[in-house]
Structure 1
Amino acid sequence: MTRAAVALFAGRAYDGLSVDDLVTGLGVHRNSLYKTFGSKRGLYLTALQWYLRNELAPLLDGAPTTGALLREGAKLDLLLLAAAEQAPLDAEVGALVAAALARVDAVLGPDAANQLLGLRLRARINTGE
C-alpha cells in the first residue's frame, strides 16, 4: 500500500489528492486508511519516509551522474513536490526534505543538484508527467 501511496502522491501531490482519491487509488476502505495511518497526513508521512529510504536512497547510492539521475527523473518527483508544496508548511516534512536535498547535494554537488531538480521540474511542467 505504501508504494502505491508514493505513486499517487508523486503523481498528483498532497493537495491534489482527496481522501476519496486515496481510498479509490489504494483500494482500501476509508476506515482502514484512518485506522492504519490516522489521517491523510499520516499516510503522506509514511509514504514520504518509505520513498526516501527505498527509492531515493538507492538511487543516490554509488555516486550516480546527473545524467543517470535525470534518466530516472520520475523517481525524483515526490521529493520535488514535497519540497515545493508541503515542506514550507510542515516542519516534519521540511526536515525530511532538507535532509534528502542535502544528500542529493553531497552526491552531485549543489550546482548539479539544482540543475537536475530544475530540469526535472521543467520536464513535469512541459509534459504533464
Structure 2
Amino acid sequence: PCTKDLQKDPLLVETLRGKQIVQVSCGDQSSFAITKLGDIYAWGRGIEGQLAQGDRKSSLAPLRIDSLQHEKIIKVSSGSHHCIALTATGRVYTWGKLYRTVEAKQNSPAQNDLGRLAGLTGLK
C-alpha cells in the first residue's frame, strides 16, 4: 500500500495490479493512470478537487473516476491543482482548481465535478 512516508525505492501500486496501464501523469501532489480499457484512476492530494470524486478528500490508494466511466479516456495531463483528460471521441474534460485553464476565470474556486470544454470538442 502507498504511505505518506518518503519512498526511496520503487513501490508497486497494488490497487492497479492486474490492470493494463497505458499512461500515467503526475501533478504537484496527485497522480493519474489510464487503463487499456479507458478507465482513469486518481490518487494523492484532493483538497482542490483534483481527484474528481465529488469531494475534497485525499487518497493514498488509486480511486477510479466513476463519473467518466461512460467515456474511454485515452490521454491525461495534470497540473499543480487540476487535471485534463481526452476521450477517444475527442471530448476534453477538466476538473480541480481551474484558474490556469483555457475557459476558467482567474482565481476560480476548486471544482469537484467534471466540466467539459465544449470549445475543444472534436478538434483534430
TM above 0.5: no
Compare relative contact order (CA 8 Å, sep 6+) and give the higher one, 1 or 2.
1
Q: What TM-score comes out, normalization by structure 1 length?
A: 0.25
User: TM-score, normalised on structure 2?
Assistant: 0.25
